[in-house]
Amino acid sequence: MTAAREAAGGDPRATLDPATRERDVRPIVARPRPGLSAGAITLTAIAAAALLFGLLEERRRAAVVPAVAPSGAAEVVAAPPPLMIPPAPPTPAPSRAVAPSAPEPHPMSAPVAPAVSTHARTPAGATGPSVGTPAPAPAKTPSTPAAPPRVAPGQALIVDTSAPPDVDHGTDAAADEKNGAGRQPVLSTSRARATMLANRATTVAQGTLIPAVLETGFDSTSPGFARALVQRDVRGFDGTRVLIPRGSRLIGDYGSDTQRGQNRAVILWSRLIRPDGVTIAIGSPAADPVGRGGVRADVNTHFLERFSGAILQSVLDLGVTMAGRGSRSPVIVALPGAGSRVAATVPATGSDIVPTLRVPPGRSVGVFVARDLDFTESEAAR
């Protein structure tokens, strides 16, 4: 059967009976033709690899070794040519010192005689033109430059000696304005004489600190008046009498001239009223309980009011910049002065706004006595 199949060209259908071929439903598959063996394929691959290796090796050698020898290679000199040594410079001839020649004498010229006028002298009393010797020109006096005005390096110290030496500070009512808050210290260089403090039992000396508590509030928006109550008894200089009893009332005033960075309220106490009706012009500034100038206050800096104009201008500039940018363009076009023209309509009031100081009622304060307070007459009337 195999021989018949091979005779039919490898087609298995040729060996089947025609009747059986029609009834058989099995597929008819021919066997594959025999190919190269595994050994032949291996030898072929080895030969191809050896051929490829030989070609690559030959190409590498051709790239490393030049195919043509350089021209004149046989004429290369084994040793370099000798160096050229320059000749030595000639030795300079010794110079001979030449003696200086004597100066030639110059002939001195004879003095020239003064010219004598050939005109005849005019007799006395005769009229006629006369030639006189011109008068010498006056010598010029060198002008001395005027000294610049002297400028004092600092503030001049002025001492007022017109006031009498003995001044009673306890009865000077005109010193209220001079002893107020904000008074600059005055340096006096006049001679000081020691004196005895008069009425020590009935005098509250300068520098005494009177503790008090505020009855009214403080607001620096507008000027106004303040009132406080004394917390403790204040005795005289020798401590024998109570001159300012507890419950005495202090009357003062304050202004609205607040400055940037200020955080302490300035109050000037002008009058003190005791519970028994005795009153005195105290004229002393307010202080805190430890004697520092001013009263600690709550500060409102008005941040939004001061910087709202600058914030609005920045927002307007940003809006104008974003409006000038295209929807698909990556480039931002800023129009110069576009935001400034819009922001020019915004009133620039930030620089005029000053902080507001507020002190609530009930805060502890102090009164720094600026001058001697004499209660002699009131104590004598009791």
Tell me the torsion sign for CA atoms 110, 112, 118, 122. negative
Q: Name the token pair of 162.
A: 């017109």
Mean pLDDT of the chain: 73
pLDDT of residue 228: 95
Tell whether the model's pLDDT for residue 314 goes beyond 60.
yes
With 80 as the cut, is the pLDDT of residue 165 above it?
A: no
Positive or negative torsion for Cα 333, 337, 338, 340:
positive
Assessment of whether the complete model's pTM goes beyond 0.85:
no
* Dist CA 274 CA 289 (whole Å): 21
pLDDT band at 276 (very low <50, low <70, confident <90, very high): very high
Higher pLDDT, 376 or 117: 376
pLDDT confidence of 131, banded at 50, 70, 90? very low
* Distance between CA atoms of residues 9 and 369, nearest Å: 142
- Strand partners for 242: 235
Instruction: Tell me what pLDDT residue 116 has.
Output: 47
Q: What is the enclosing helix (H) or strand (E) of 312?
A: helix 303-323
pLDDT at residue 280, as a whole number: 95
pLDDT tens for 12-69 read: 666 666 666 666 666 666 666 777 788 888 999 999 999 999 888 888 887 766 555 5
In order of their start, the domains of the chain are: 200-299+357-381 (2.40.128.260), 303-352 (no CATH)
- Report the pLDDT value the prediction gives residue 359, as an integer from 0 to 100: 92
pLDDT of amino acid 11? 60
Q: Are 228 and 365 in contact (CB under 8 A)?
A: yes
Candidates 258, 273, 266, 264; CA nearest to 228 is 273
Q: Identify the weakest region by mean pLDDT among 35-44, 48-57, 155-164, 208-217.
A: 155-164
What's the confidence (pLDDT) of residue 210? 95
Map tokens 């010193």 to a residue: 175
Please check the confidence at residue 378 and state whether its pLDDT lies above 90.
no
Amino acid at 125: G
How far is the C-alpha of 271 from the C-alpha of 279, rounded, in Å? Answer: 7
Rounded Cα–Cα distance for residues 91 and 275 (Å)? 124
| Residue range 346-374: mean pLDDT, rounded | 84
279 versus 130: the higher-pLDDT residue is 279
Segment 271-280 long-range contacts (CB within 8 Å, at least 24 positions apart)? 272/244, 272/248, 272/373, 273/248, 273/249, 274/244, 274/245, 274/248, 275/245, 275/247, 275/248, 276/245, 276/382, 278/375, 278/378, 280/373, 280/375, 280/378
pLDDT digits (tens, 9 = 90+) for 244-269: 999 999 999 998 888 888 889 999 99
